[in-house]
Homo-oligomer: A and B are copies of this chain.
Amino acid sequence: MSSLHPSLTLPKRLSLSAQAADTIRKGIFDGTWNELLPSERRFCEMLQVSRPTIRRALHLLAREGVIDIRQGRRNRLLSPCARTSVWECRLIVLVTAQVVSQMHFVVYQGISEMRAHLTEHGFATEILVCPPGNARGQQRRVEEFLRQNRVLCCVLLSVSKSLQEWFSAHSVPALVLGSCHPEVKLPSLDIDQRSVCRHAAGTFLGLGHRQLALVVPDSGVAGDLASEQGFLEALEQRSSYGNARATIVRHNGSAQDIGARLDRLFKDTPPTALLVAKPEHVFIVIIYLLKRGLSVPDTVSLIARDQDHVLETVSPPISHYQIEADTYPHRLSRLMLKLVSQGALASEPNLIFPKFYAGATTRRLV
């Protein structure tokens, strides 16, 4: 957990590009140039830095609306009225469809620490809750908020695919927390569900299990799709387990539906190992099994994909995957500080590999 002494100001960690941007911006406001700016190569000599650095700086200014960049032409100053307001914009917005109380602990912890760090660096943060379901309504709400407030960048948490696409198409930089849809080009921070599920299936196979099943909500979110992918991959990769079989059990989250689908599964090809995606479904599954006379882990082994406090404190403790206490907050803070200082992030997923926590619900098949 981070803590700040009153008199301590954090090292700014300003990248060279940001410093160069500051210098140039200052020159602009001092009226050093009018209309046309020096060329990139000229700036390199003046500021004694390399061209990529100058380029990042200039594009930062372009994003602030201070200058206009077009290939082949000299960079131009924009009219003063267009530029003054953006400069002071230090507001970061968390756009989410979830109410705070429904968030996973790790995510909320990450967001809290991120806010603390950003506050220490002089940024303001705000949470914008968009009611889920109505995609167009979400979008309108975001657009209206962005029109009324100068926003530096956004963090997207469990928002609809269309909203992700909207951000990808517009100029406001954004970081996606959790699953970013494959077609959407945005930077994201997520747990590597695919590797997790591949590893879980591998663990089961190593323990002698041959009939595996993945119990996963039919949500369509990218994380769950990746889970299915990884789960199946484990069997494809290991040709030595030719007789092994993996089933995907997609459900809608209700106990009725889960029960019905497990009924079908157990009648057809009764599995001896279950990987359950959501913590809350773990208990539904265990209760279902008990009602059927099956016990965990005596007859069926079980692994939970996600982490939850209850999974550890219950007994027998449930095998699951968890991430180091500080990695998520840490990586999130780092990414955001990078985003606000550089103005943009690479549009690629940042993945976290959880560690396997061996509880007492996984057993070698005898």
User: Which B residue's beta carbon lies closest to that of A337?
Assistant: B48
A169 within 8 A of partner (CB)? no
State whether B117 touches A120 (Cβ < 8 A): no
Q: Is A297 an interface residue (CB 8 A)?
A: no
Asked if A254 is at the interface of the complex by the 8 Å CB criterion, the answer is: yes
Tell me if A79 is interfacial: C-beta within 8 Å of chain B: no
Q: Given A101-B105, A310-B308, is A19 in contact with B8 using a C-beta cutoff of 8 Å?
A: no
Q: Quick one: given A115-B116, A309-B101, A310-B279, are A8 and B287 in contact (CB under 8 Å)?
A: no
- Could you say which residues of chain B place their CB within 8 Å of the CB of A310? 279-280, 283, 308, 310
User: Known contacts A123-B6, A308-B310, A325-B99: does B284 contact A287 (CB below 8 Å)?
Assistant: no
Is the interface on chain A under 10, 10 to 19, 20 to 34, or 35 or more residues? Answer: 35 or more
Asked whether, in the complex, the Cβ of B11 is within 8 Å of the Cβ of A47, the reply is yes
Question: Which of chain A's residues 1-46 have a Cβ closer than 8 Å to chain B?
Answer: 1-13, 16, 19-20, 22-24, 26-27, 30, 32, 45-46
Cβ distance A354 to chain B, nearest Cβ, rounded Å: 13
Within 8 A of B (CB), among A88-132: 90-91, 99-102, 105-106, 108-109, 112, 115-117, 119-120, 122-127
Q: What 9 A-B pairs are tightest by C-beta distance, nearest first?
A: A11-B19, A3-B126, A255-B315, A280-B313, A112-B112, A7-B30, A2-B45, A290-B290, A6-B124
Chain A positions near chain B (C-beta within 8 angstroms) = 1-13, 16, 19-20, 22-24, 26-27, 30, 32, 45-49, 90-91, 99-102, 105-106, 108-109, 112, 115-117, 119-120, 122-127, 253-256, 278-280, 283-284, 286-287, 290-291, 295, 308-310, 313-316, 325, 333
Instruction: For A291, list chain B residues within 8 Å (CB).
Output: 290, 295
Of the residues B22, B27, B106, B308, contact of A5 by C-beta under 8 Å: B27
Do A19 and B23 touch across chains, with their CB atoms under 8 A apart?
no
Asked if B26 and A9 sit within 8 Å, CB to CB, the answer is yes
A106–B30 alpha-carbon span in the complex (Å): 36
B49 lies within 8 A of A32 (CB):
no
A100 partner, pick from B6, B30, B109, B122, beta carbons under 8 A: B109
Q: A287 vs B361: C-alpha distance in the bound complex, in angstroms?
A: 14
Docked CA distance A231–B5 (Å): 45
For A127, give the chain B residue with the smallest CB separation.
B1
Contacts A108-B109, A112-B112, A286-B287 hold; do A32 and B45 have CB atoms under 8 A apart? no
Provide the residues of chain B in CB contact with A49, threshold 8 Å. Answer: 11, 13
Can you pick out 7 interface pairs between chain A and chain B where the beta carbons lie within 8 Å of each other?
Answer: A3-B45, A8-B26, A8-B32, A11-B20, A105-B105, A283-B286, A287-B290
- Contact between chains at B119 and A119 (CB < 8 Å): yes
CA distance A213 to B276 in the complex (A): 32
Minimum distance in angstroms from A35 CB to a CB of chain B: 15
CB distance from A247 to the nearest CB of B (A): 22
